[in-house]
A and B are shown apart, each in its own frame.
Chain A
Amino acid sequence: MSDHKFLEVRDLEAGYQLGRPVRAVRKVSFDLAHGEFLGIAGESGCGKSTLAFAITNMLADPGKVFSGEVLFQGKDLVKCEREELRQMRWKEFSIVFQASMNALNPVMKIKDQIYDAVKHHSSEYVSGFDQRVRELFDYVNISHAYLNAYPHQLSGGMKQRVVIAAALALDPKLVIMDEPTTALDVVVQRKILQKVAELREKMGFSVIFITHDLSLLVEISDYLAIMYAGRIVEKAPSKVLFSRPLHPYTEQLMASFPPLVGEKRRLHFRGRSPVALSSNAARSVLPGSAM
């Protein structure tokens, strides 16, 4: 590991300014090295999506970063100017959002949409784009015939692979994925994750993978961080976290997956789930003895 950490998040506080500030991310700190795969797991309302947006400084009004630093290759993204960020986005780091496949423009060809994304962030590949986009499609195993297709002609899994391919277009060093496979079936999900792992081997990028599906993360990530009510409650190499969780919440979370193999027995989850951080629900969700 080099001295200059690849990504350092220090005491990040972010949330939404709704009259009074709602803190969705509280004093979050973690490090990421080159080529590492960090999984961030948490249930609904824990603030993980806000974290994804906050790290990349993409929180739009009323969202904002209240304090903290995000040192990406030494540069604080929180303090960056808009123009600087735009130049870095897609080239240095890229993001795949939840249900990005629904963000594809239904009246534009796939090829043109990727071209737009590429052109907006860099002059690289503008010539020679055709070759690059074919390369990208090869990465994700989609036939070149679909270059000239429209989004509705592709299945959910294919669309998501297109979005991932687009995110890799400019060889970013960091890819952040927020629930990229949630809406997809288990077989498609597995194939996409396999592909991401392959590409990571080949291209060497780091990944921050955010999801509520903890069972998935344990298998694919190097490190795992568990989020609860805006804070990271535990962080460890994934196999360690699974076999020897220290925080009670992690313990319970790990214990709530019915096993596919091995002994079949009754499981219990004790304790309360994190309260959603939207101001509405925070005021009025009632704690039942069983939630």
Chain B
Amino acid sequence: MRMQSLQQNIQTDTVLRLEALRKEFTIGTISKRQVHVVNGIDLEIGSREIVALVGESGSGKTTVARLVARLYKPTSGRIFLHSTEVPKWMGKRETLHYRKTVQMIFQDPYASLNALHPVRYAIERPLKIHGLVGRGELQERVVSVMEECGLRPAERFLSRYPHELSGGQRQRIGIARALAVRPELILADEPTSMLDVSIRLDIMNLLMDLREKENISYLFITHDLAGARYVSDRVAIMYAGHLMEVGPSSDVISEPKHPYTQLLKAAAPKPESGTEPERIDVGGEVPDLTALPSGCPFEPRCPLAKAECRERLPEMRVVSPNHSVRCVLY
């Protein structure tokens, strides 16, 4: 399937397409409840495109990444990789092929590495599993991937254990691990949230550089709107398992159309603005995912809510090229 690429206005391949993706979890032992975490997501990611999925905790964004990473099975909906539907059950060979194409970077740089293995183990394994190196080439390859991720000189890091590295260095190992198989799509689950401020930029720059060099697409999960704007071509705003607004990041963030996006922007720190901090006057708490209303989930907190918002969920409507909003106002 082809789609408009924003970078060069030429037709490019779609790497990933999510169609009506849903995920429900069942919790409770005696009285069971359904938690509706992902409620019908339609999203596309093109070749060499970085799409940021932005939302607060409980929005379902991490679950979307895990669904694409096949750590969970979708309750319903379809996932397409290069126009081929990804079947629910895959044999060993197909699974391995999928895992060579779609990789993941985790949020916690310490928890995502096994503390009992030296860090080179994390990068050796994917190379070995997918048979990507010949005899005697292993160390060379590991070193080369590590240096690509900014760990220089790589030799000094090879035998170190995770606890001997800083948070930023560990995250670079995590990126190297994902990069080793030369994937086409990397799911980055809040890769900078647990890093120091001064490191975040370096990591985001690294991911962008790798996109240029290795032609990788990213699904960049984050709660930080400013980071999303910096790193991504397109941004998708998620709330209570639904997509509320999707469009080019500069457009969506400079002129947010959906009231929730506007709220996120107003709440975000803007030290560069130089004026008095914006006040937000929003009440209400985050929605209860076990009892979602049938209308728009943001309605209880929306300053522009109308009666019809409570009745049914608005459709995603295109408001300008590549830019859609799910709100009755449009």
Residues of A within 8 A of B (CB): 43-44, 141, 155, 157-158, 185-187, 189-191, 194, 212-216, 218-220, 239, 242-243, 252-254, 256-262, 264, 266-269, 271, 273, 276, 280-281, 284-286, 288-291
Contacts and interface: CB of A to CB of B under 8 A. Distances in A.
A252 B56 CA distance: 28
Contacts of A267: 201, 205, 230
B303 interface: no
B116 interface: no
A266 B231 CA distance: 9
B57 A185 contact: yes
Contacts, number: 147
Contacts of B157: 286, 288
Contacts of B230: 258, 264, 267
B267 A290 contact: no
A286 B156 contact: yes
B163 A260 contact: no
B152 interface: yes
Contacts of B202: 269, 290-291
Contacts of B272: 242, 257, 259-262
B interface, over-half SS: helix
B271 A242 contact: yes
Interface in B212-250: 223-227, 229-231, 250
Nearest to A46: B196
18 contacts: A43-B197, A43-B198, A158-B285, A185-B286, A187-B56, A187-B282, A215-B270, A252-B198, A253-B197, A256-B198, A258-B204, A258-B227, A258-B230, A260-B253, A261-B270, A267-B201, A285-B169, A291-B168
B201 A155 contact: no
Interface string B184-207: 000000000000111111101100
B267 A260 contact: no
A260 B198 contact: no
A213 to B, nearest CB: 7
A191 B56 CA distance: 14
Contact of A186 (B198, B253, B267): B267
Given A191-B280, A218-B271, A286-B156, 5 more contacts: A44-B167, A187-B282, A215-B271, A242-B272, A258-B231
A239 B156 CA distance: 42
B135 interface: no
B168 to A, nearest CB: 5
B70 interface: no
Interface centre among A141, A213, A242, A286 (most CB of B within 10 A): A286
A286 to B, nearest CB: 6
B273 interface: yes
Interface string B276-288: 0101101101100
Closest 4 CB pairs of A and B: A258-B230, A218-B271, A215-B269, A185-B56
Contacts of B168: 273, 291
A242 B274 CA distance: 9
A288 B163 contact: no
Contacts of A280: 163
Nearest to A41: B197
Contacts of A185: 56-57, 223, 286
